[in-house]
């Protein structure tokens, strides 16, 4: 069931404006304080403070037994997390880039995702994988992919991603407390995004979408950085009297299908926006569910906006041209409004 997250600035909690990287660091730090079995492991998470400074300062506070630097060995990082989770710890295993998770696919897909089922539920696997993903930072073909659909496809994995510092902190805390494997994709271009985050304790539930902007004419279903392009497009179109609803799914699996359907049944139009390659991306699953479950409510075909089917260029103009942006979202929304069935 979707919620409309209260603006942290308007809440009764004490808030301050911090970077998403800081919000994630607070989540890790607070959960380590709350539970002595929580630890962080990954490449350069200690001395270097993480590739994007998420764990900066945590080695000095918690020491090398709980902030564990590893060699460049993704399969070992993934497997270490599984073993530790099965034997009583709550590990957070960080991959420097989600692109490198391919090296650890057997551990993630055939071990982490399957163990609880294969042990008949007698074992829990409280393991969180963290992975930077996405474009916009000039990291080229091997460090820029959005591969989240791979993992949402695998039974036994929960898959989440955040578009704001508020959501990032609350989702990561919920993931760490899960007794199941959670894969959290963190968009690289959002680490430096600032947002209001409460000082008090809070959680963001996994599997619950968030309506970032209410509207009546068309629904844009999206996640991660694309939420901001959707909001920018919605603001532009409001000048023309077009009311756009923006739904941030936050959780790819479990997917809050009811929230998506509720929005589409209100607006009767849907644009699915995602940064992954359009062909075969997770947005195709969302579009399929809308078509199957809300076909009679649609006044126009479901449209998808995604990235080009090509390796990500290193050239900044070519990279920008390969991915969705606010202008492409505006075009898709106008097409939807003109495409009555």
Please confirm, yes or no, whether 187 is among the known catalytic residues: no
**Closest Cα to residue 275, out of 126, 164, 121, 149?**
149
Please confirm, yes or no, whether 153 is among the known catalytic residues: no
Cis peptide before 254 (omega within 30 of 0): yes
Question: Is residue 67 a contact partner of residue 39, using CB atoms and an 8 Å limit?
Answer: yes
**Closest Cα to residue 167, out of 193, 141, 134?**
193
Q: What is the largest CA-CA distance in the chain?
A: 62
Catalytic, out of 22, 26, 43, 74: 74
Run of H or E residues at 213: strand 210-213
**Closest Cα to residue 52, out of 156, 224, 189?**
189
Run of H or E residues at 109: none
Catalytic, out of 143, 187, 228, 268: 143
Give residue 283's Cα distance to chain centre. Answer: 13
The β-bridge partners of 238 are none
By annotation, the residues acting in catalysis are 74, 143
């Amino acid at each position: 069931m979707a919620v409309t997250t209260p603006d942290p600035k308007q809440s009764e909690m004490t808030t301050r404006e911090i970077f998403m990287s800081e919000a994630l660091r607070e989540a890790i730090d607070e959960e380590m304080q709350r539970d002595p079995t929580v630890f962080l492991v990954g490449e350069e998470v200690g001395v270097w403070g993480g590739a994007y400074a998420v764990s900066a300062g945590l080695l000095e506070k918690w020491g090398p037994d709980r902030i564990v630097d590893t060699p460049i060995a993704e399969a070992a990082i993934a497997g270490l997390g599984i073993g530790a989770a099965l034997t009583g710890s709550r590990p957070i295993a960080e991959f420097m880039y989600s692109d490198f998770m391919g090296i650890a696919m057997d551990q993630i897909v055939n071990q982490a995702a399957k163990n609880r089922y294969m042990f008949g539920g007698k074992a829990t696997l409280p393991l969180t994988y963290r992975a930077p993903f996405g474009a916009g930072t000039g990291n080229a073909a091997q460090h820029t992919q959005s591969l989240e659909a791979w993992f949402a496809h695998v039974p036994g994995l929960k898959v989440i991603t955040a578009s704001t510092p508020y959501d990032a902190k609350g989702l990561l805390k919920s993931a760490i407390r899960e007794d199941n494997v959670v894969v959290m994709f963190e968009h690289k271009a959002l680490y430096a995004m600032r947002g209001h985050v409460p000082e008090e304790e809070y959680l963001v539930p996994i599997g619950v979408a968030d309506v970032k902007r209410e509207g009546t004419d068309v629904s844009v279903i999206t996640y991660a950085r694309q939420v901001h392009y959707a909001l920018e497009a919605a603001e532009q179109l409001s000048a023309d009297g077009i009311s756009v609803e923006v739904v941030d799914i936050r959780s790819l699996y479990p997917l809050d299908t009811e929230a998506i359907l509720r929005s589409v049944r209100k607006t009767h139009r849907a644009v699915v926006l995602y940064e992954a390659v359009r062909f075969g991306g997770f947005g195709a699953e969302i579009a399929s569910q809308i078509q199957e479950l809300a076909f009679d409510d649609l006044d126009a075909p479901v449209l998808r906006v995604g990235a080009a089917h090509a390796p990500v260029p290193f050239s900044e103009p070519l990279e920008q041209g390969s991915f969705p942006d606010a202008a492409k979202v505006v075009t898709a929304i106008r097409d939807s409004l003109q495409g009555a069935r």
